[in-house]
A = this chain, B = another copy of it.
């Protein structure tokens, strides 16, 4: 599996560029602009509408959906309910990013209900996973959690871990500046939504998305003097990255 990931990701990247999938994003107010730019740079078409009377139509005409729980409010809760129902109706894959569930009990309960509604991928960090898993046994075993919830867990960290409970892929690409730019993880989740639109195997889609972001981050560092110039440079890198470069830089473990 692991040896095949770089070539697989390169092939999916080429498909993403060719198909330009529409990704509808319910995402937090801080991340909307950077997420839209990351999707555009990668070759996707973003939309961000949240209103209850429009979001069903936007989701119906999209190819992937992101549900990110940052700055969760009444409008976003209502939008999520409608959007997830529309995604199921139209067999649209969706990804959940349960931002800051470790800091809000209400959001944590909302996120757990969403996990039960069948996201293809849950992308989160280690603290968020610790909160989301509801027993000590699950907290200690990401693969068991993925098996039980029948979702792909994509957990970011020094090495990103992506697992469906049976298979597991680790991605060692990235740079510490990625934690110094707000919305970087959110943008990564949106990219997962884009790759889900071109690849039915959600583990492969998530691995390709996070590999693309991590390699773009490494290329961007060469142009950056700090997190501000890095944020611009990673968009440049997402735009120019091609399959051979992705494959050449991939660190899959």
Contacts and interface: CB of A to CB of B under 8 A. Distances in A.
Interface in A10-63: 28-34, 36-37, 40-41, 46-51, 53-54, 57-58, 61
A192 B58 CA distance: 28
Contacts of A57: 103-106
Interface string A50-92: 1101100110010000000011111100000000000000000
Nearest to A237: B226
Interface residues of A, number: 55
A135 interface: no
Interface in A116-149: none
A183 interface: yes
Contacts of A58: 103-104
How many copies of this chain are found per oligomer? 3
A158 interface: no
Nearest to A36: B182
A192 B72 CA distance: 26
Given A30-B46, A47-B103, A225-B236, 20 more contacts: A29-B32, A29-B48, A30-B32, A30-B33, A33-B33, A36-B183, A37-B228, A49-B104, A51-B74, A54-B106, A54-B107, A58-B103, A61-B103, A225-B233, A226-B236, A228-B233, A228-B234, A229-B236, A231-B235, A232-B232
